[in-house]
Amino acid sequence: MLFFYTMKKLFPFSVLFFIVLFSCALLAGDNPEVERGLENFNAFFREVNDGYVDKPDAEVIMRASIDAALRAIDPYSYYISAKEQADKQKAWKGILYGGFGVNIVQRDSEITVTDVSAGYPAALSDIRHGDKILAINNFQLRGLPFDSALKKLRGEPGSAVTLTIKRQNRILEKTVTRAEIRNKAVQCTSVLDNKTGYICFTHFLDGSADELRKSVYQLKEKEGITSLVIDLRGNSGGLVVEAVKAANIFLPKNVNIVTFQGRQAVWNYDNLTFNEALDTILPLVLLTDNNSISAAELFAGAIQDYDRGLIVGRKTFGKGLVQGTHNLPYGNSVYITSARYYTPSGRCIQELDYIHKDATGKATKAPDSLRQMFHTAAGRIVYNIGGIAPDIQVELDKPNTAFVDKLRKADVLGDFANTYRNAHESISGATHFQLTSEDFADFKLALKKSGYPFKTETEDALDALITQATKAQLGSLINAEQKKLKRKLLEDRIAEIDVHRAMICSELAKEICARYYFNEGRIENTLYADADMKVALELLKNPAEYSRHLRP
């Protein structure tokens, strides 16, 4: 398996010690440097174990040594004990836990639902954002430590429980059967202008490519789309085989998607598609950004190199390294970077050099002298190093969101969205939903009733100044002006609500849509205002322009 995840736990010292010695002995061979390192490590461990003033925990020392050694190589290599293998298998499959499909927080000693996932027991039982879970099977959760409450709510898939729910002033009883909660790769599918399909695709775990294929098929066959946008922004990557299968949706059988090259011959091979493509002609745009990483870059690189579609947005992360499983005794494993990968045109997009670190120990960027020109199948120029560059770069404005962030952290946006949902049985749809002037007036009234439970950056700065002055015994000098100044700043806080009206309404609209249509609604509500999507839609509306970008 090839993947990009970490888990760190401790396990018996005897196993660890044997593994270290066994592995180092294999490495040593005729290499005197490794032999000296092994001898030095043995001496180090013996001195610490025998000479430290108190008896040290050998298990902790050994695991810390292994973890530190792997961190010194790169951030992607790590150790997995036999006990951790089951959890790792679940991580590959995107299995999160057995439960109801909600996110919760503890607010005022009560367990409060902050998000609900579509298609899972909570959503099917009409459990909503803002609901307070008071009890499970009559066991009271109020005041219980959060971790204990979480443990009570989660459990074996298939087990049924009764939840006591408080929604505003009503008490509800919900019988809910736990399910296996998975991290779904397809977070949103939608049909936009001119029959353009949209898919938000977030990772490449086991089964992700099948999710994507199914979504593309449904958009084609049931919705009749004539073009497609796949959103890879923020895609965290995952399994190489899933990236190959995803590319195979759009590229024919028996074409190479990615080539591995490592120091060991076993790692030198091509990864070919092995199925018939679902569609090789549907106009396609991929959206990428700096957080599109690893398997997402592999997928995007293949689509670009075969001129199968266009990439819009910003350059991807730049991870051209592959991790592989190396088995050790007693069911333990080490996952280490074993190869670089190369896109079909022959380029490696790795950004950082982890072997040649700078004076502070940080990885260095590959020098420009190694940057080379490559060509796609049609002859378009592309480059190695530093990620996959988009065919059409979109520069984003960076609005100051500090004030809205304050509102979000104070829960006032979510609370208003919850109130709105409980007052309105339905809305017309997520894509074009907007707040009315009356809705915004209601929001302002709700803030007034709540006492404006947030502060501006200026107020935070004043509080810090007062605290510092008090420590310096200067509080009396500014005390007389505090009330007057704070009153003025409160007036400014209220005035800022109108100044930031457009941004506040946008955030509220997203949150309200999420109450009716879950995360898919939240995503859909932003699409027409999205700068990358605007460029993609314009391209796909103009076949001549789309084709022009695919030519050298």
Interval 100-109: pLDDT, tens: 999 999 999 9
Question: Which helix H or strand E contains 311, and what residues bound it?
Answer: strand 310-313
Question: Which helix H or strand E contains 230, and what residues bound it?
Answer: strand 227-231
CA atoms of 47 and 53, how far apart (whole Å)? 11
pLDDT (tens digit, 9 = 90+) per residue, 216-225? 999 999 999 9
Q: Looking at residue 25, what is its pLDDT?
A: 46
Q: Looking at residue 15, what is its pLDDT?
A: 41
Furthest C-alpha separation in the chain: 80
| Residue 548 pLDDT level (bands cut at 50, 70, 90) | very high
Beta bridge partners of 110: 107
Helix (H, G, I), strand (E, B) or coil at 18: helix
Transcribe 420-442 into DSSP letters.
Answer: HHHH-S--S-STT----HHHHHH
Q: Looking at residue 296, what is its pLDDT?
A: 98
Homologous superfamily of the 186-321+337-392 domain (CATH): 2-enoyl-CoA Hydratase; Chain A, domain 1 (3.90.226.10)
| Residue 196 pLDDT level (bands cut at 50, 70, 90) | very high
Question: Which helix H or strand E contains 173, and what residues bound it?
Answer: strand 170-177
Please identify which residue in the block is written with the tokens 């490794």. Answer: 34
Helix (H), strand (E), coil (C) string for 325-393: EEECHHHCEEEEEEEEEECCCCCCCCCEEEEEECCCCCEEECCHHHCCEEECCCCCEEECCCCCCCCEE
Query: Percentage of the chain with pLDDT > 90?
Result: 69
For the ranges 12-21, 230-239, 355-364, 457-466, the maximum mean pLDDT occurs at 230-239
Looking only at the bridges linking them, the beta strands covering 310-313 and 284-288 are: parallel
Q: How much is the average pLDDT of 9-34?
A: 50
pTM of the predicted structure, to 2 decimals: 0.90
Query: Is a pLDDT exceeding 80 seen at residue 3?
Result: no
Two structure tokens written together for 514? 């999420």
Topology alike, domains 95-182 and 186-321+337-392:
no
Query: Is a pLDDT exceeding 50 seen at residue 21?
Result: no
**Top-confidence residue, 61 or 507:** 507
The residue extents of the domains of the chain are 13-92, 95-182, 186-321+337-392, 402-532
Which 8-state DSSP code applies to residue 165?
E
pLDDT (tens digit, 9 = 90+) per residue, 241-263? 999 999 999 999 999 999 999 99
| Residue 478 pLDDT level (bands cut at 50, 70, 90) | low
Q: What's the residue count for the chain? A: 552
CA atoms of 302 and 320, how far apart (whole Å)? 13
| Across 9-23, 185-199, 311-325, least confident range | 9-23
Are 94 and 186 spatial neighbours (Cβ–Cβ below 8 Å)? no
Which 8-state DSSP code applies to residue 238?
B
CA atoms of 75 and 4, how far apart (whole Å)? 10
With CA atoms as reference, report the closest residue to 145 among 101, 113, 111. Answer: 111
Query: Is a pLDDT exceeding 90 seen at residue 348?
Result: yes
Question: Which helix H or strand E contains 140, and what residues bound it?
Answer: strand 139-140
Are 274 and 248 spatial neighbours (Cβ–Cβ below 8 Å)? yes
Beta bridge partners of 297: none
What residues contact 302, with CB distance under 8 A and at least 6 apart?
Answer: 243, 247, 251, 257, 258, 308, 343, 344
Looking only at the bridges linking them, the beta strands covering 110-116 and 78-80 are: unpaired
pLDDT (tens digit, 9 = 90+) per residue, 507-542? 999 999 999 999 999 999 999 999 999 999 999 999
Question: Which helix H or strand E contains 164, and what residues bound it?
Answer: strand 160-167
Q: Is the alpha carbon torsion for 437, 128, 402, 400 positive or negative?
A: negative
| Residue 204 pLDDT level (bands cut at 50, 70, 90) | very high
Per-chain mean pLDDT for the chain? 90
Are 319 and 293 spatial neighbours (Cβ–Cβ below 8 Å)? yes
Helix axes 457-471, 475-499, angle to 10 degrees: 170
Please identify which residue in the block is written with the tokens 């009733």. Answer: 449
Transcribe 36-96 into DSSP letters.
Answer: HHHHHHHHHHHHHHHHSSS---HHHHHHHHHHHHHHHH-TT-EEE-GGGHHHHHHHHHTEE
Choices 2.30.42.10, 3.90.1580.10, 3.90.1150.10, 3.40.50.2300: CATH for 95-182: 2.30.42.10
Query: Is a pLDDT exceeding 50 seen at residue 10?
Result: no
pLDDT (tens digit, 9 = 90+) per residue, 283-294? 999 999 999 999
Q: Give Cα 353 to chain centroid, integer Å.
A: 24
Q: How much is the average pLDDT of 472-482?
A: 61
Cα–Cα–Cα angle for 470, 473, 475, rounded to 5 degrees: 50
